[in-house]
Amino acid sequence: MKIADFAVDRPVTIVMIILALLVLGLFSLTFLSIDLLPEITSPTISISTSYTGAGP
């Protein structure tokens, strides 16, 4: 309950912390690089088996 008591006793501090987190989040969002169509290479696997006496 200490966090709840702190929030009730000091609402201005809580609002300032929330605003600081919001500003930092928006600031970091502007530097986030996002590609709309990134180059993706699909992994491939090749399996070869032989069965004697079977047709091709």
Q: What is the pLDDT of residues 4-42, one digit of tens each?
A: 898 899 999 999 999 999 999 999 988 888 877 888 888
Q: What pLDDT, on a 0 to 100 scale, did the predictor assign at position 31? A: 85
Q: What pLDDT, on a 0 to 100 scale, did the predictor assign at position 16? A: 97
Q: What pLDDT, on a 0 to 100 scale, did the predictor assign at position 34? A: 80
Amino acid at site 6: F
Q: Is the CB of residue 14 less than 8 Å from the CB of residue 7? A: yes
Q: Which residue has the tokens 């600031």?
A: 27
The DSSP symbol for 37 reads: S
pTM of the entire structure?
Answer: 0.54
Residue 33, phi then psi, degrees to nearest 5 = -90, 130
